[in-house]
Amino acid sequence: MWLYLVALVGLYHLVRWHRERQVVSHLRDKYVFITGSGSGFGNLLARQLDMRGLRVLAACRTEKAAEQLRAQTSDRLETVTLDIAKTESITAATQWVKERVGDRGLWGLVNNAGISGPWGRNEWLTKQDFVTTLNVNLLGTIEVTLSLLPLVRKARGRVVNVSSIGGRLSVMGGGYCISKYGVEAFSDSLRRELAHFGVKVAVIEPGSFKTNMTNTERLFQHVQEVWDRARPEIKEVYGEKFLASYFTAISKNRLTTYKENLSEVTDCMEHALTACHPRTRYSAGWDAKLFYLPMSYMPTFLADAILTWGLPRPAKAL
């Protein structure tokens, strides 16, 4: 009995391995639009796909970042400046993409642009702090997708949304994890709706990687800013000692370490764009696969105990 079970599991993985190795044809004729190409995952993916021969349309937040990317890539790659928090910027970029892809349509849309903060303890934040993050990470992603969807549908292409392990398990306060939960939900509904048109939707769920978003100094700055703006009674409840311990917890990053090999994430993105049979979800990084993802299925009390272990207590905690 056990032998048959092992054989069945082995056969499943063999068939899956074979299917995932099949690559889409005529990649050099396909256009891929990537948001957030100025740095981090988006920047590396743009260079990676350019080397693969695809026609990359890279959206950067600033012209300076766009110039740097063009200097590192071939003449096939084109850039456009885009602020996904602004409708007029998305409208202009959409028209720019239409002019380039023409009747071919857009094979790949990679929603990669995002921000990490403002963040800190929820009680320290204002509604506007949450709105700032949601406008970029969630609403910006939705608006870019809706604007370019007709072109993706024409090519029967791919939508690749970059979420996070924070979209499975809320590991911090503020709008970041909320926005990534939203990206997961949007991707799920979009996947089912677009299946009728031959469009595939994939979600990338990176673990902890070293990018501009995870820069410790920037995280400190986010926390200090929201703390400085917090109401006096909130500061009294938590205390200055708590803030100092909170900074220490961030710097030590007791649950995981930030990995520098960003290709673990971009390889997942590339597979989602180029494989005949892409996965629905890609967990990138050992911490995502072996720690955060399994923990998201644990009993709540156990996950809470792990996530709060070693964290400081507020001055007036019970």
The mean-pLDDT minimum among 52-56, 99-103, 163-167, 248-252 falls in 248-252
Does pLDDT of 117 surpass 70?
yes
Q: What is the pLDDT of residue 24?
A: 87
Mean residue pLDDT across the chain: 90
Question: Tens of pLDDT along 132-187?
Answer: 999 999 999 999 999 999 999 999 999 999 999 999 999 888 899 999 999 999 99
Residue 201: which region, alpha, beta or left (left: phi > 0; alpha: psi -120 to 50)?
beta
- Of the candidate ranges 31-45, 178-192, 219-233, the one whose mean pLDDT is the lowest: 219-233
Whole-angstrom Cα distance, residue 166 to residue 202? 17
Multiple choice CATH, 23-209+258-298, 2.60.40.10, 3.40.190.10, 3.40.50.720, 3.10.620.30: 3.40.50.720
Distance CA 203, CA 181 (A): 11
Beta strands 78-81 and 158-162 are unpaired
Q: What is the pLDDT of residue 255?
A: 53
What pLDDT digit, counting tens, does each position of 276-293 carry?
999 999 999 898 999 999
Q: Which two tokens stand for residue 242?
A: 């708590």
Domain range list for the chain: 23-209+258-298
For residue 223, the model assigns a pLDDT of: 81
Give the residue-averaged pLDDT of 44-71. 96
Kindly state the average pLDDT of the residues 107-127: 91
Residue 176 annotated in active site = yes
pLDDT: is 8 or 284 the higher one? 284
DSSP annotation string for the chain: -HHHHHHHHHHHHHHHHHHHT-B-S-GGG-EEEESSTTSHHHHHHHHHHHHHT-EEEEEESSHHHHHHHHHTS-TT-EEEE--TT-HHHHHHHHHHHHHHHGGG--SEEEE------S-S-GGG--HHHHHHHHIIIIIIHHHHHHHHHHHHHHHT-EEEEE--GGGTS--SSSHHHHHHHHHHHHHHHHHHHHGGGT-EEEEEEE-SB-SGGG-HHHHHHHHHHHHHHS-HHHHHHH-HHHHHHHHHHHHHTTT---B--THHHHHHHHHHHHBSS--SEEEESHHIIIIIHHHTTS-HHHHHHHHHTT----TT--
Q: Which residue in 4, 12, 31, 176 is the catalytic one?
A: 176
Cβ-based neighbours of 110, under 8 Å, separated by 6 or more? 32, 33, 34, 35, 42, 45, 160, 162, 269, 273
Q: Is the pLDDT of residue 224 over 90?
A: no
Tell me the C-alpha distance between 87 and 72, whole Å. 29
Mean pLDDT of the 82-87 span: 96
Q: What is the predicted pLDDT for the residue at 256?
A: 59
pLDDT at 5: 80
Per-residue pLDDT tens over the stretch 225-267? 888 888 889 889 988 888 888 777 766 665 556 677 899 999 9
Confidence band, pLDDT 50/70/90 cuts, at residue 204: very high
pLDDT attached to residue 257: 63
With a cut of 60, say whether residue 105 has pLDDT above it.
yes
